[in-house]
Amino acid sequence: MAPLCAGCGNPAQPGESLCAECENKVRQEQKNGVYRMNHANLARAIRLRAEKIDSEADHDSVDYDTRRDDAELLRCLARILSGLSVKDAFGAPGDWGYGTPIGDALCEDYAAAGAAGGQRVAPADVERVG
Ligand SMILES: [Zn+2]
């Protein structure tokens, strides 16, 4: 398969890692300091691995749920590699199940991030830092 644009996942220009449209967009975002890396080809390979795990998972096996979680964790990694935030990649703790290790860990991390995000820097602190 032809390499994909690292910006949008559409086919890239021959010999380039980006399509022309994304190259302009990335240049602009780099100027603004908001560019987030996208690894579309690695994400695609990891999604294929997740599909393989799903297709080989045996419904009657005792570790069926674990296999499905493993595949979903790979999809989370692929989403992060595609430029999504951890929160957008993993979704809500309840998606994994409250009381499960991953659901509980997400819950704790989101709460911590919310607390940190809720802390506002006082103007006096800005002056001290600056
Ligand atoms: Zn593109």
> What local confidence, expressed as pLDDT, does residue 84 receive?
82
Note whether 122 and 116 are within 8 A (CB): no
- Domain range list for the chain: 1-37, 38-118
Q: Per residue in 39-93, pLDDT tens?
A: 888 999 999 999 999 999 999 999 999 999 999 999 999 998 888 888 889 999 9
> What local confidence, expressed as pLDDT, does residue 69 receive?
93
* CA 88 – ligand 1 centroid, Å: 21
SS3 annotation, 60-129: CCCCHHHHHHHHHHHHHHHHHHCCCCHHHHHCCHHHHCCCCHHHHHHHHHHHHHHHHHHCCCCHHHHHHH
* CA 17 – ligand 1 centroid, Å: 9
Q: Per residue in 1-27, pLDDT tens?
A: 678 887 788 888 888 778 888 888 877
Instruction: Report if pTM > 0.75.
Output: no
Comparing 120 with 103, the larger pLDDT belongs to 103
